[in-house]
Amino acid sequence: MIHGQALVVLDTQLESQITRLDWVVIAIYFGILLTVAWWVVKRGKDSAADYFLAGRNLSWWIIGASIFASNIGSEHVVGLAGAGATSGVALAHYELHAWCLLVLAWLFVPFYMRSMVFTMPEFLERRFSPASRYVLSIVSIITFIVSKIAVGIFAGGVVFGTLLPELHITVGNTNIDSFWIGSVLVIALTGLYTALGGMRAVAYNDAVQTFVLILGSASLTAYGLAKLGGWHELRYWCGSEMFNLWKPLIPAGVQGTWAPVLETSSGGQVLREAWYFNGNFPWLGMLFCAPIIGLWYWCTDQYIVQRALGAPNESVARRGAIFASFLKLFPVYLFIVPGLICFALAKSGKVPALGAMIGADGKVIGPVAQGAFPMMVQYLLPAGLRGLVVAGLLSALMGSLAGVFNACSTLFTVDLYEKWKPAASQHQIVRVGRLATAAMVVVALAWIPVIKGAQGLYTYLQAVQGYLAPPIFVVFFFGVFFKRLNAQGALWAMVVGFALGIFRMLVDTPVALGLGGLENGYRQGSFLWVVNNIYFQYFSVLITIVSAVVMVVVSQMTSEPDDAKIRSLTFATVTPEDRAKTRASWSWREIAGSGLVLVCILGAYLYFRG
């Protein structure tokens, strides 16, 4: 999930210390990726099931690793470390949403695998109507383009800008800097193996990327703790406040707007203007909104669920989701904890070069501390290992970008093209899937100048999910729990919910980007000012409530759905045969694995209490 609350701006001002050995490691990593992609392409079959769902033959560990890699992007890695350096473990709340993957494993996997769908909109069509499918498909594709692809491009350009800030190519009178070079290279390479190999190439490369990312980040944590002197030193220098996971639940303010912060160098020179969320995390928002967004993302988003759909059966899909929930616990210790270590090293003076992130008053300088992860890589790691961590950053970036390319391609081809051309052959469907992926690459390339010049847009786009997710959450969860809810109710819930979310986005966008002289917002007390200043989590909950009410009321005012049509698509209509099949698909191993994840989550909440 992209964290709109992460307050992240990646630091592009660090000078690179990448050595020849580091580049060798990075080259080996890319060589492995290309080898895996080529192997997958050679064994691929010219069918929709093979291209979009890897022939429904993915193993559980590939599914879990692919879900994890799709979720973790470069901006996620660096952003969580920056949040750790500035506010401690507060953002661990979102990483501990690993329990949402258990909901996918135990609640939704049986419905998805029984229906044998390719996409989430297709499941809505089975449960409700073709109109619901069209609405969700179009909204999902647009959301992927304006949020996930945009974020991936920015992260790719920033990573290369950090590694090679002086790299540029001059074509005529045009100077192409490292941001452009890095973005184009990452988009082109990721798009190439995604278009050629489809879901199988994405999933198998995700497995490699997960291994590299975890190994690289774990080495950074280990080196940092060794330099600091151990975990007890980390607790000493950070203090109880930074180890307080419950800090965001203190309702100390609910401002809901984005505010500009000028980032300056130690000499006072303005480096750039960055946008940060101006507010805290009130407990009501954390209690109600965060789980809604988490359940939408992990249980109903094509971007994530497509990996589980690639399983051969219900048992493998469930195990893959449980494994992904276990991997989802890692970011707390591999990304957030390095941020705390960076802060402790800076405050203790054990790494003088990190002292720039501590102000004269002894407090952390937020904008500088956002670069905690790259600073740790730069000043702590030896040659070779530094290259491994950089490869991990690139892994995170490419995994998330490949996931969105593949998801968009699947949504367009299966939900739209196959509806327009029902007689299309398997070869034509795969060809259109490849062309759709190529189109996403072109769209991504067209985004580069927009994203590069609008860092306010980059940060603001993180909050898009808070406004568009609630109606999707409502129709999926209410749809499987209550058989009385019908197609009309689902359609109007999505229409009204999306309309509210888009309205809020249209109100927020001019303020977030400072357009039309609205840097300071609307006239105080006006209707648009009130809308803009409602805390975004509260507004998200409002959309959820309105969507649920609309769905229930419209359904009750219209005819009841036919039980035969929704057979095995709701809990009340599951047949005894399907229920028995589901029960036979799990054993004590799945229960033990799920229990271990829940114990780890509970342990984190008990330990990180200050």
For residues 469 and 544, give the distance between their C-alpha atoms in angstroms, rounded to a whole number.
Answer: 9
Which residues form the domain of 375?
A: 20-40+58-247+273-460+575-607
Residue 519 lies in a domain: no
pLDDT value, residue 253: 46
pLDDT at 453 over 70: no
- Listed in order, strand segments (DSSP E) in 182-299 are 257-264, 270-278
pLDDT at 496 over 70: yes
pLDDT value, residue 514: 63
pLDDT value, residue 326: 95
pLDDT at 348 over 60: yes
| Range among 76-85, 161-170, 192-201, 285-294 with highest mean pLDDT value | 192-201
For residues 406 and 140, give the distance between their C-alpha atoms in angstroms, rounded to a whole number.
Answer: 13
pLDDT value, residue 256: 41
Residue 258 lies in a domain: no
Backbone angles phi, psi at 260, to 5 degrees: -80, 140
pLDDT at 401 over 70: yes
Q: How confident is the model at residue 9 (pLDDT cuts 50, 70, 90)?
A: very low
Q: How many CB atoms lie within 10 A of CB 14?
A: 17
Q: Which two tokens stand for residue 309?
A: 């759909």
Backbone angles phi, psi at 212, to 5 degrees: -65, -45
Residue 158: its H or E element: helix 150-163
pLDDT at 106 over 90: yes
pLDDT value, residue 349: 85
Residue indicated by tokens 């034509």:
428
Residue 435 lies in a domain: yes
Its pTM surpasses 0.75? yes
pLDDT at 547 over 90: yes
pLDDT value, residue 515: 63
Residue 254 CB burial class (10 angstroms; 0-12, 13-18, ≥19) = middle
Residue 255 lies in a domain: no
pLDDT value, residue 278: 39
Question: What's the total number of domains in the chain?
Answer: 1
- What is the average pLDDT across 181-199? 81
Q: What percent of the chain has pLDDT over 70?
A: 81
Residue 490 lies in a domain: no
The answer to whether the beta carbons of residues 116 and 343 sit under 8 Å apart is: no
pLDDT value, residue 305: 93
- Amino acid identity of residue 196, one-letter, is L
Residue 354 lies in a domain: yes
pLDDT value, residue 462: 57
Cα radius of gyration (the chain): 24
For residues 395 and 426, give the distance between their C-alpha atoms in angstroms, rounded to a whole number.
Answer: 32
- What is the average pLDDT across 471-477? 96
- What is the average pLDDT across 161-174? 66
Which residue, among 288, 299, 311, 277, has the nearest Cα to 199 in the 3D structure?
Answer: 311
Which CATH number covers residue 586? 1.20.1730.10
Residue 177 lies in a domain: yes
The answer to whether the beta carbons of residues 485 and 551 sit under 8 Å apart is: yes
Residue 543 lies in a domain: no
pLDDT, tens digit, for every residue of 110-145?
999 999 999 999 999 999 999 999 999 998 888 887
